[in-house]
Structure 1
Amino acid sequence: MKFFAKSPALAPLSLRNPIHFLALGFGSGLARVAPGTFGTAAAIPVVLLMSLLPQSGYVVVTFLACVLGIYICHKTSKDLGVHDHKAIVWDEVAGYMITMFAAPITWQWLLAGFVLFRIFDILKPWPIRWLDRNVDGGLGVMADDILAGVLSFVCMQAALFYFNV
């Protein structure tokens, strides 16, 4: 079994198209199994690079990833003819960027943020589930993961406070 999906549904996409490349999380969204998890994993090097920025720079890049992500996900969904196709994982990249804001860049905290974000993204507790079901277009693709990232960020900051880091 091949690792990457070779589905006729994905035929309209090209990794040479920068919008598709980003929407597919640098290609990670083409994983046959758990593309959202692979999309989140693809965000780890992005977060590592962003950790070199001052916090204000991290906020600006994350904000741009979220705002531009609305267009990127909308355009790719439109090109596929499917709202929020599993292969579109830019929302996971942006959500993990939010999760890791102001967190220490150690393997333990990167893993904690990864697990927290995946839990919120997969289980979709209210109000994440409401956003997922009721908001359409690129905003709908992005909104639930942005909120999952915010809730994961709050948990991370609470853990950092509790452990006095």
Structure 2
Amino acid sequence: MEKLPGFRFSPTEYELVGYYLRKMAEEKELGVELIAVIDLVKHDPWELPDLAISLAHMGDTEWYFFVPRQHKYPNGSRPNRVTPSGYWKATGTDKPVMDKESNTSIGLRKTLVFYKGKAPKGEKTPWIMSEYRLPDEQNAQFKVL
């Protein structure tokens, strides 16, 4: 898709979770394709720019994707974040995404750093990703990165 003159896709965290991710989880149409659905574990971070929908590019440093949740083990709850060349490692704790009007949490944000190689001896890289997801009790099957 060609870029629209003057269009900037620059959603707030509230908009990413409360609008885009919620609609995706509820299988509702957005009206325009802005965020690609990808299988993150099949791609290393340097491949991601080519997978993003051009309207959702924010320069050369930010891209947005919907990623179906995958678990490391069939009956487990740990997410699978291993890629062909390394893995995404969570840093810190989940941060709530707040609805400013009701002062309630509508989702969570987690920061991930990419490491080349196999855990736990991977080499830290400058690739950083923010993962947004709906609260667990809503049984969300997608997250937005």
**Shared fold (TM-score, shorter chain, > 0.5):** no
TM-score for the superposition, normalised by structure 2: 0.31
